[in-house]
Structure formats: C-alpha cells, structure tokens
C-alpha cells in the first residue's frame, strides 16, 4: 500500500469519524439543554469540546485527503487510488490479517456488547474463553478453567485487595 493510498483511505475514514463526533457532540448539547440540566449556552455545554474536536479532525482530514492528490489531476488520482486499492486487497488478505481482525472483533464485542449486558465477571469469562479457544491455547476445558481463575483473581485482587471499583 503506497503512502498516497494510505493517506487517501485514512483521510476518508477520519472524515467519517469526525462527522460522527460532531453529530454526537450536538446530540450531547441537545440532551444537556433539556430538563433537568437546562444548559442552553453551547460554549459551556458538555457537547462543545466533542464538536470542536470533531471539526478539527474533519478539517485536518480534508487537508490530508487533498494532499493525497498532490501532483495529480483529480480524476486520474482517483483512478490511481482505485487501482492501488484493488492490487492491495488481492495481496493483503492473508491468515494473519484475518486473525487480527477476528481478535479485534472479539474485543469490540466484549467492550460494547458483553460489558453492557452482563456483569463484569461474566462478560470477562466469556471473552477470555472466546480468546483462548480462538488462539487454540489448549483444550476447551483448560480455557474455561483458566478464564474462571484469571477473572476470580482479578476480582479478588482489585475489588477486595485494593478496594477498587470494578465495572458492574
């Protein structure tokens, strides 16, 4: 993947991310303007900083996007990026990339779904079992036993040993 292709792809992703941050910041502002908070001045609302950061991210991403076309006409630059991307996709998808993607997906599911639906200990045990089985650490029964022991040790150490609050 050439640098221009990387800049092009990541600038598009970051523009989308910046737009999302701006939208969510405005949603925070609108929620804060309602009862019981009644924060109607935008510059003091909790949505101000996300909107500001989203604008900065979008602006700098647009600059990166424009710089990825430097020295080329717009039409031929798009054609070049498309050809480079097609070539990259044919060579890039291998077992390592697939394993990394599945691992990231498991972490995403743990963070944004399991932790929201289950208590910390249950979500963590399920996540560790999934990771251990996916990585083929050993037999499934060893993965289950190890996951339960690790989570129990973490809960005992942090919750009762250090008195730290763990997610509920």
Tell me the pLDDT tens digit for each residue of 102-145.
999 999 999 999 999 999 999 999 999 999 999 998 999 999 99
> Among 54-58, 67-71, 107-111, 128-132, whose mean pLDDT is lowest?
67-71
Cα–Cα dist 64/142, whole Å = 48
Question: Whole-model pTM above 0.75?
Answer: no
In the chain, where are the structural domains located?
Answer: 3-92, 97-161
Q: What is the chain's mean pLDDT, rounded? A: 91
Cα–Cα dist 7/134, whole Å = 33
Cα–Cα dist 11/6, whole Å = 8
- Over range 81-102, report the average pLDDT: 82
Q: Put residue 107 in one of left, alpha, beta given phi > 0 → left and psi -120 to 50 → alpha.
A: alpha
Cis peptide leading into 72, omega within 30 of 0? no
The answer for residues whose C-beta is within 8 angstroms of residue 127's C-beta and 6 or more apart is 106, 107, 109, 110, 114
Name the band, by pLDDT with cuts 50, 70 and 90, for residue 66.
very high
């Amino acid at each position: 993947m050439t640098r221009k292709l990387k800049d092009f792809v990541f600038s598009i992703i970051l523009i989308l991310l910046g737009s999302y941050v701006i939208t969510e910041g405005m949603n925070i502002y609108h929620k804060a303007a309602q009862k019981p908070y009644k924060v109607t001045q935008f510059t003091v609302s909790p949505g101000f900083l996300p909107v500001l950061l989203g604008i900065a991210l979008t602006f700098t991403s647009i600059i990166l996007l424009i710089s990825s076309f430097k020295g080329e006409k717009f039409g031929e630059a798009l054609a070049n990026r498309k050809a480079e991307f097609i070539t990259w996709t044919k060579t890039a998808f291998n077992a390592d990339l697939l394993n990394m993607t599945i691992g990231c997906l498991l972490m995403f599911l743990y963070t944004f779904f399991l932790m929201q639906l289950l208590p910390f200990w249950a979500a963590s045990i399920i996540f560790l079992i999934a990771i251990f089985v996916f990585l083929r650490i050993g037999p499934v029964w060893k993965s289950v036993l190890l996951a339960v022991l690790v989570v129990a040790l973490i809960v005992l150490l942090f919750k009762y040993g250090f008195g730290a609050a763990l997610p509920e």
